[in-house]
């Protein structure tokens, strides 16, 4: 995913909790996107778009993914079992790092080869 000082690690120190969050975000984003694509085939006959905006269903997926992370922020939250958790990574990092390593993101947003969110070398968990 990068080395200390690289853009992917510039916001958070390496800790067991931070590494676990990076790992889960990095591994989960492609799985969620694949599930989204499978559900689109069976549930949507036409591409969903926001009126008057250049935002199709693929872009909406990535926007919703990041909104979920940003709305949770780096604050405490409680899971269904009542366990309290605290995110140690900032929302920008949790959103950007997994997505910048997905070619599907670059394709959805028509990133060029020199865009920050379209690095020349990508990592893949899967």
pLDDT by residue (tens digit) across 57-105? 899 999 999 988 876 554 556 667 777 666 677 888 889 999 999 999 9
- Ordered alpha helix ranges (H), the chain: 16-43, 57-72, 91-100, 103-108
Q: Coil, helix or strand for 78?
A: strand
Q: For position 43, what pLDDT does the model report?
A: 63
With a cut of 50, say whether residue 8 has pLDDT above it: no
pTM above 0.75, yes or no: no
pLDDT digits (tens, 9 = 90+) for 11-66: 455 567 778 888 888 889 999 999 998 887 766 556 677 778 888 889 999 999 99
Q: Are the beta carbons of 2 and 9 closer than 8 angstroms?
A: yes
- Say what the pLDDT of residue 14 is: 55
Confidence of residue 10 (pLDDT cuts 50, 70, 90): very low
Tally of CA atoms within 13 A in the half-sphere of 113 that contains its CB: 1
Distance (Å, whole) CA 49 – CA 39 = 16
Residue 62: per-residue pLDDT: 96
Q: For residue 15, what pLDDT is reported?
A: 65
């Amino acid at each position: 995913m990068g080395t200390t000082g690289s853009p992917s690690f510039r916001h958070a120190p390496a800790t067991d909790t931070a590494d676990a969050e990076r790992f889960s975000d990095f591994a989960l984003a492609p799985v969620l996107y694949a599930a989204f694509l499978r559900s689109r085939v069976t549930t949507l006959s036409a591409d969903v778009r926001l009126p008057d905006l250049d935002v199709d269903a693929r872009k909406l997926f990535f926007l919703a993914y990041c909104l979920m992370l940003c709305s949770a922020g780096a604050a405490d939250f409680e899971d269904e079992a009542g366990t309290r958790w605290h995110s140690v990574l900032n929302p920008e990092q949790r959103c950007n790092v997994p997505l910048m390593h997905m070619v599907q993101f670059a394709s959805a947003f028509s990133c060029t080869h020199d865009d920050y969110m379209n690095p020349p070398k990508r990592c893949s968990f899967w």
